Amino acid sequence: MIGLPESNGYIYVEANGGLNQQRTSICNAVAVAGYLNATLLIPNFHYHSIWRDPSKFKDIYDEDYFISTLENIVRVVDRIPGYLMERYDNNMTNVHNFRVKAWAPVQYYRDVVLPRLLEERVIRISPFANRLSFDVPPAVQRLRCLANYEALRFSNPILTMGETLVARMKERSASHGGKYVSVHLRFEEDMVAFSCCVFDGGGQEAKDMKAARERGWKGKFTKPGRTIRPGAIRLNGKCPLTPLEVGLMLRGMGFDKNTYIFLASGKIYNSEKYMAPLLEMFPNLLTKDMLALEDELDPFKNYSSRMAAIDYTVCLHSEVFVTTQGGNFPHFLMGHRRFLYGGHSKTIRPDKRKLAMLFDNLKIDWKSFKRHMLNMRSHSDSKGFEIKRPNDSIYSFPCPDCMCHVNRTEDSRSSSAT
């Protein structure tokens, strides 16, 4: 490749987690490969018992576009040459695996990983989520930016489906100028179970949650000496908001029943019960299942990451994005929306500790509750152009690291560790 010195070897990483945790791994892998002047093998996606999605890189992202965008900056290939793999009996598990600590400094890769890479010519890093510090040299940071905001584009089937649903949301909300609000709701069974919160307190819920925890995290929540305090978890703002709570919050913030809402979510726990009040408050609420025509979602339905990617696309183009729970999905969306809209994007991030106190205050009247909600919305909307602080993620705060145009070729050369 013109402009790049001879490669120091090949790096194979295994991206674990869900859609956006895997995205973190990909961006970090590009940054590390560029820093070490190495060739990156298209990342492998680890199959997880929670997400249960066997999708490969090319199923989620446009692989050819990814490779071509990074051309002359970071080498990316879809296979390691046979003569090298013969050393390892053509079995990647025979390749030396680095167990890198979370948030490892970039110097670790220079001092520990690079010598072994030069010696072996092929190395493996698994798992790879969050294995690179946010605090890295600007040139390495910009490789992350390039990967996340330019090189990673959803595969054509996902992109086409997502854009189709965006067009339908805008068509449905034509009376509002084609503007709609997107809400990320985390009230799936696994989320409710993992939170260890209590909602209706009924016996069936307790039974369901116990089974879900054991199924997804065998023994994690039943270790001797572990005490779970649902009340304390709620007061600390760690419980997922119920659909009813989301509805009350939005109505309190001034969104009326005519507001068009796109709800991004997996399968809601006990949806018939919990979704009824939210739908009553917002009859113009729609999901991808409601927007799609019959059979349109069939190619995606058994793949949680592909379904999440469709939700991501529709949320990306909404007028306002409302996050109700932490996690990678809202953090990536907030950053991506800021990047698209020149740093400004309307995002509502509620103060969940304050919400818990207000919801549990049986004496509060609607007027007082609404005043609190309007203040909360004003605080979210008034933040405007947010600048990244030293330890913030560029995935949530792309300015200034990812929003200053520089000579990318010159940058990639200066980022090398050798």
Amino acid 16: pLDDT: 86
The tokens describing 302, both together, are: 């058994």
**Buried b or exposed e, range 260-297, using 16+ CB within 10 angstroms:** bbbbbbbebbbeeebbebbeebbebbbbbeebbeeeeb
pLDDT beneath 50, residues of the chain: 1, 406-415
| Cα dihedral 133, 138, 328, 345 sign | positive
Write the pLDDT tens digit of every residue in 272-302: 999 999 999 999 999 999 999 989 999 999 9
CA torsion angle 298 303 304 308 (round to 10): -60
Amino acid 412: pLDDT: 39
SS3 per residue for the chain = CCCCCCCCCEEEEEECCCHHHHHHHHHHHHHHHHHCCCEEECCEECCCCCCCCCCCHHHHECHHHHHHHCCCCCEEECCCCHHHHHHHCCCHHHCCEECCCCCCCHHHHHHHHHHHHHHHCEEEECCCCCCCCCCCCHHHHHHHHHHHHHHCCECHHHHHHHHHHHHHHHHHCHHHCCCCEEEECCCEHHHHHHHCCCCCCCHHHHHHHHHHHHHHCCCCCCCCCCCCCHHHHHHCCCCCCCHHHHHHHHHHCCCCCCCCEEEECCCECCHHHHCHHHHHHCCCEECHHHHCCCCCCCCCCCCHHHHHHHHHHHHHCCCEEEECCCCHHHHHHHHHHHHHCCCCCEEECCCHHHHHHHHCCCCCCHHHHHHHHHHHHHHHHCCCCCCCCCCCCCCCCCCCCCCCCCCHHHHHHHCCCC
Of 310, 9, 368, which Cα lies nearest the Cα of 166?
310
Q: What is the pTM of this model?
A: 0.92
Write the pLDDT tens digit of every residue in 86-123: 999 999 999 999 999 999 999 999 999 999 999 999 99
Compute the distance between CA of residue 209 and CA of residue 186 in angstroms, rounded to an integer.
15
Compute the distance between CA of residue 222 and CA of residue 99 in angstroms, rounded to an integer.
28
Compute the distance between CA of residue 205 and CA of residue 210 in angstroms, rounded to an integer.
8
Amino acid 129: pLDDT: 83
CA distances from 195 to 189, 361, 405 (A): 10, 22, 41
Amino acid 409: pLDDT: 38
Contact 158, 306 (CB under 8 A): yes
Compute the distance between CA of residue 412 and CA of residue 4 in angstroms, rounded to an integer.
9
